[in-house]
């Protein structure tokens, strides 16, 4: 263990934090580098990596809220316990470098990375730097960006921090680049509200599902909250899930994807798919609206703000896109400019460069 390079990776809370970490771990394993993933003991990351050959350690995670909640009195203690837990993980594992994907779970690891001067590479998938990454940038060797640098506002950062920024794109699992579309008798629509689902999207879909099923094969990831309700819709052309590890294949099969404007955009770009995105209106720093705006300005998606989301509008745009194969193809081709198939390789190389 002493002579082998060891990388500690952290981040979680949403699938958008987890899957890029899994992608980087894939590359590290291919290069014979040991890795350990530190995530939330109760987060989605623990569920996602069950089928992956990954060394995982779960810690307690607390959240800092900008609004009143009784959890604000409890979570500081969780954060403290998480810091203590990660102290023992870092001391035992003795990583040569740390990769942080952000999220609340990253804070305890970054705390010790700064204190022990462990080389750190952070990654930001969105077009707005998250709070954890703004802080990490002050002591990290590099901050990798999911969008080309020109799409970021660095006006509040000094030049020393800006010099650490490097465009790598979002790491995408290798499976996305090796998928063939399965054959269906009908055009395929995939609807997903992200790893946690979206009640706002589900409610609208519920009102137009009969019209959709009269023409299309519909795959719907509802999240846990609305699964039972949507599952009651009995139709051989309707496939409903809370969560599935077949999502890459479902995306490859889709002629159109309806989704939020988070990490799914990177996978849409990798596959060159047409999409309708509905940004999460309360996303941190409004990053989903900004992501969507960038794609829309590059003619890479159709955007519906949630305040304008109605059954009539969604059905109208779906039908318009499904009736225009040329336009759908154009959206997918424009989306491809936001993908970098070598992203995971570049990040793995950076970790190898900065390691102790």
Same domain, 305 and 230: yes
CA 75: distance to chain centroid?
Answer: 24
> What is the tens place of the pLDDT at every residue in 85-114?
999 999 999 999 999 998 889 999 999 999
- The pLDDT of residue 110 is 95
Same domain, 330 and 276: yes
Q: How many domains does the chain fold into?
A: 2
Residue 1 pLDDT > 50: no
> Is residue 135 one of the residues assigned to a domain?
yes
Same domain, 165 and 256: no
> What is the tens place of the pLDDT at every residue in 116-150?
999 999 999 999 998 888 899 999 999 999 999 99
- Number of helical (H) and strand (E) elements in the chain, helices listed first: 14, 13
> Is residue 134 one of the residues assigned to a domain?
yes
Same domain, 153 and 52: yes
Contact 40, 105 (CB under 8 A): yes
Exposure of 316 in the CB half-sphere (CA atoms within 13 A) = 8
- The pLDDT of residue 73 is 67
Same domain, 125 and 190: no
- The pLDDT of residue 67 is 59
> Is residue 149 one of the residues assigned to a domain?
yes
Most confident among 47-56, 194-203, 240-249, 337-346 (mean pLDDT): 337-346
Same domain, 89 and 207: no
> What is the tens place of the pLDDT at every residue in 183-240?
999 999 999 987 677 889 999 999 999 999 999 999 999 988 888 888 888 799 999 9
Q: Residue 161 sits in which domain range?
A: 6-172+340-354
Place of tokens 């009651």: 232
> Is residue 1 one of the residues assigned to a domain?
no
- The pLDDT of residue 132 is 83
User: Can you give the CATH number for the domain in which 62 is found?
Assistant: 3.40.50.2000
> What is the tens place of the pLDDT at every residue in 8-44?
999 987 888 899 999 999 999 999 999 999 999 888 8
> Is residue 136 one of the residues assigned to a domain?
yes
> What is the tens place of the pLDDT at every residue in 307-331?
999 999 999 999 999 999 999 999 9
- The pLDDT of residue 226 is 85
> Is residue 81 one of the residues assigned to a domain?
yes
Same domain, 168 and 227: no
Same domain, 258 and 222: yes
Same domain, 151 and 226: no
Same domain, 59 and 151: yes
Same domain, 168 and 181: no
Same domain, 25 and 100: yes
């Amino acid at each position: 263990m002493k002579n082998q390079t060891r990388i500690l990776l952290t981040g979680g809370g949403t699938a958008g934090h987890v899957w890029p970490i899994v992608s980087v771990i894939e590359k590290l394993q291919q290069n014979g580098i040991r890795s350990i993933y530190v995530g939330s003991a109760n987060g989605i990351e623990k569920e996602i990596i069950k089928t992956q050959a990954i060394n995982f350690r779960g810690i307690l995670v607390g959240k800092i809220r900008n609004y009143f909640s009784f959890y604000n009195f409890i979570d500081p203690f969780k954060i403290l316990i998480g810091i203590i837990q990660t102290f023992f993980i870092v001391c035992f594992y003795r990583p040569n470098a740390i990769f942080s994907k952000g999220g609340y779970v990253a804070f305890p690891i970054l705390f010790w990375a700064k204190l022990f001067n462990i080389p750190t590479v952070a990654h930001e998938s969105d077009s707005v730097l998250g709070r954890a990454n703004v802080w990490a940038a002050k002591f990290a060797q590099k901050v990798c960006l999911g969008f080309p640098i020109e799409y970021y506002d660095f006006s509040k950062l000094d030049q020393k921090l800006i010099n650490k920024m490097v465009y790598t794109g979002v790491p995408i699992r290798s499976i996305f680049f090796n998928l063939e579309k399965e054959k269906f008798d009908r055009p395929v629509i995939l609807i997903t509200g992200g790893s946690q689902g979206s009640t706002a999207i589900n409610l609208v879909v519920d009102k137009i599902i009969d019209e959709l099923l009269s023409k299309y094969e519909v795959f719907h990831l509802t999240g846990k909250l609305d699964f039972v309700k949507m599952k009651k819709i009995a139709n051989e052309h309707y496939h409903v899930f809370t969560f599935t590890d077949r999502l890459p294949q479902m995306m490859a099969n889709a002629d159109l994807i309806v989704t939020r404007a988070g990490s799914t955009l990177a996978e849409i770009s990798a596959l060159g798919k047409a999409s309708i995105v509905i940004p999460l209106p309360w996303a941190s720093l409004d990053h989903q609206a900004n992501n969507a705006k960038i794609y829309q300005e590059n003619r890479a998606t159709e955007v519906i703000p949630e305040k304008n989301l109605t059954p009539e509008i969604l059905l109208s745009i779906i039908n318009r896109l499904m009736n225009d194969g040329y336009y759908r193809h154009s959206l997918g081709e424009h989306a491809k400019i936001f993908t970098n198939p070598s992203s995971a390789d570049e990040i793995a190389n950076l970790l190898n460069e900065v390691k102790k």
